[in-house]
Structure 1
Amino acid sequence: MNNATTIQDRQLTITRLLDAPRSLVFKVWTQPEHFSRWLGPKDFTTIGCQMNVQVGGMYRACIRSPEGTDYWMQGIYREIIEPERIVFTFAWEDENSQPKHETLVTVTFEEQGNKTLMTFQQAIFESIESRDSHNTGWSECFDRLATYLTAF
């Protein structure tokens, strides 16, 4: 079996049309009190979330699985263009709070009337399996995000 993959194979793109104005979608991505409410796959809870949303600022968050396992993530904001675009690094932490493999995430927000077309891109994963795992996790996050936005 050939394990070689192309760079394109190790990129993830998810697009969602959200029933909320762009300014609100941007807000819930950039304020910890909102971000922590929808971060994590289905049935996960956010138990910690720190965000310094500015170029060069760091974020760190922890999500807890239904079984009680904690997953810490961290990264640095590379670009913030309100309310259009957020670019940041993403890495899971090891047991010593050190970042593991780092990817780059770009999220864009495009007005579609009173709705927002959100495009999420993350790359470059170590493997197709890692990409697919993130696809599942982020897709469930975005389901939670869509539900959370209905509260406004």
Structure 2
Amino acid sequence: MSTTVSAVPMEMELTRFFRAPRELVWRAWTDVEQLKEWWGPKQFTNPRCEADVQPGGLIHIDMRAPDGTVYPMGGEFEEVVPPEKLVFLAWALDADGDPIFTNRNTVLFKEVEDGTEIRLHVRVVEAKAAAWQYLKGMREGWSGSFEKLAEFIGTR
């Protein structure tokens, strides 16, 4: 039985609490040197991490899997409201540099007692037929990134 794009989530939300001040969590998302330390699924590294965090600014991250495979991602920031909100498009790129799918990511940073709550909303805005193999792991990938972010923030 094959899976199609319509069989995977085209929208998702995750909420996560971080025991750290909102400003520190915000910087982990917006400072390139910090972003490259935690972005991506568990056990992935980011040999290339570029982000111009301003409306119209571009993002490019190459995520390297434990087996050495590199998964390039491009994107563009649409809205930046320090330290409350980031909205950015992200597209996974194929070997030719063409988008496989594009997601709109909205990240809200809320100051709460003893820390920061992040609410992430992801909506797939465009996807090729082959995108299902990546999109089916979207929740797991973001959950792993949030775990890495929590560990990273714990070292600050």
TM-score if structure 2 supplies the norm length? 0.88
Higher strand fraction (1 or 2): 2
Matches within 5 A, 1:6-21: 9-21=9-21
2:32 maps to which residue? 32
1:3-152 equivalences in 2 (<5 Å): 9-124=9-124, 126=127, 130-152=134-156
In the alignment, structure 2 segments of 5+ residues that lack a partner are none
Separation of aligned partners in 1, 2:5 and 2:139: 20
> Aligned pair in 2 of structure 1 residues 13, 129: CA closer, same or farther (>3 Å)?
farther
Secondary structure of 2:146's match?
A: helix
Q: CA deviation at 1:42?
A: 1.1
Shift of the alpha carbon at 1:114? 3.0
C-alpha contact (below 8 Å) 2:48/2:63 kept by paired residues: yes
Letter in 2 for 1:15: T
Q: Compute the displacement of 1:100 (Å).
A: 2.4
Aligned-partner residue type, residue 36 of structure 1: K
AA partner of residue 155 (structure 2): A
Asked if the contact 2:17/2:115 (under 8 Å) is kept, the reply is: yes
TM superposition score normalised by structure 1: 0.90
Secondary structure at the aligned position of 1:124 is classed as strand
CA RMSD of aligned residues (A): 2.2
Count how many residue pairs are aligned between Structure 1 and Structure 2.
150
For the residues of structure 2 that align with 1:81 and 1:135, how far apart are their CA atoms? Answer: 25
Q: How far does the alpha carbon of each residue in 1:43-92 deviate from its partner, in whole angstroms, 9 at most, with x for none?
A: 11111001111000001000100111000001000000000000000110
Give the letter aligned to residue 122 of structure 1. Answer: V
Contact 2:5–2:132 (CA<8 Å) still a contact in 1? no
Distance across 1 between alignment mates of 2:107 and 2:137: 18
Which is worse superposed, 73-82 or 37-46? 37-46
Cα offset, 1:94, TM superposition: 1.3
The gaps in structure 1 that reach 5 residues or longer are: none
